Structure 1
Amino acid sequence: MFSFLKRDPVKKLLKQHALLLEQAMQAQRRGDIRSYSQLTADAEAVYEEIQLIKASQT
């Protein structure tokens, strides 16, 4: 009945994914390849979670 009041979990995860990719890019520019690798892996994990949620919604 009040489903329009629920927050969209995918929207939050997309923001987090974009933030992680931005941080990874900044780390790469600084020459910090380890941080870049870790942030990219974290972003990939968030993206996989987004895909799982989208698949379960359809």
Structure 2
Amino acid sequence: MFGLFKTDPTKKLQKAYEHKLEQAMQAARNGDMRANASLTEEAEALRAEIDRLKKG
């Protein structure tokens, strides 16, 4: 019953992950490969955190 109001931390991380990938795609379209690489690296770190939380 009390778990009803508990927020899921993976949802917030998933949204941030998708936002970083979107930013990386925009940087690649603009020709900024350094920004693309750094944003993709940040997105992959978020993805690893999501996977870690899902495993337990």
Report the equivalent of 1:34. Answer: 34
Deviation at 1:4, TM superposition (A): 1.2
Q: Which runs of 4+ in 1 moved over 2 A?
A: none
Report the equivalent of 1:20. Answer: 20
CA RMSD of aligned residues (A): 0.7
Unaligned runs of 5+ in 1: none
Q: Structure 2 CA distance, aligned partners of 1:25 and 1:37?
A: 10
Unaligned runs of 5+ in 2: none
Q: Percent identity?
A: 50
Q: TM-score, normalised by structure 2?
A: 0.96
Q: Structure 2 CA distance, aligned partners of 1:4 and 1:36?
A: 38
